[in-house]
Each structure stands twice: as C-alpha cells, then as structure tokens.
Amino acid sequence: MENRNDRINEELKEEINEEDINSSIKRHIKEGNELKRKIIDLIEEQNEELRSQNKKITELIEEANYKIRFMKMKQVIEEEYDSEETTSTIQEERTEEVSINRR
C-alpha cells in the first residue's frame, strides 16, 4: 500500500512539475513576445525619426543647390555685364581716339 502511495505521489509530483514547466514556458513565451513588441515599437520610432531627419537633410540640400544655381547665374550675369561694360568703354575710347585723330 505504501509503495502504491509513493508511486501515486511520485506521479503527482511529475504532473505538477510538468504543469510548472508548461506554465513557465508559456510565461517566458509571453514575456518574449512582449519584449519583441517593444523592440519593434522602438525600431519603428527610430525609423520615423530617421525619415524626418532625411527629409530635413533633403530640404537643406535642395536649398543649398538652389543658392548655388542662383550664385552661378549671378556670377554669369555680372561677368557679362563687366564684359559689356569693358567693350563699351573700349568702344568709347576708340571713338574718342578717332575723333581726336580727325582733329
């Protein structure tokens, strides 16, 4: 009788241990899933921040490119103006020389 009780007790302990193990596994899986969700949320947050930074960088690059184009156009216009002014001055000087030579 005692042997039978011991065996029943042993079986009950094994069942309890299995339930504890299963319960522990389920708890760990749940905790793992919660951690995975938190990690995914953090990654999504970082991605959104990076997208925002990329957008700002792109806007700054576009603005810089616009300013560069503007400065190049301004330089070309100034060079053309200077060239026209020089040509005009040379023509005026030649006209004066011709007029002086005619006198």
pLDDT digits 0-9 by tens, 60-92: 999 999 999 999 999 988 888 777 767 766 666
Percent with pLDDT over 70 in the chain: 78
Model confidence at 26: pLDDT above 60: yes
Query: What are the pLDDT digits (tens) for 93-102?
Result: 666 666 666 6
Residue type, 56: K
Chain centre to alpha carbon of residue 93: 60
C-alpha 58/C-alpha 52 separation (Å) is: 10
C-alpha 85/C-alpha 79 separation (Å) is: 10
The whole-number pLDDT of residue 96 equals 66
C-alpha 30/C-alpha 27 separation (Å) is: 5
The whole-number pLDDT of residue 36 equals 97
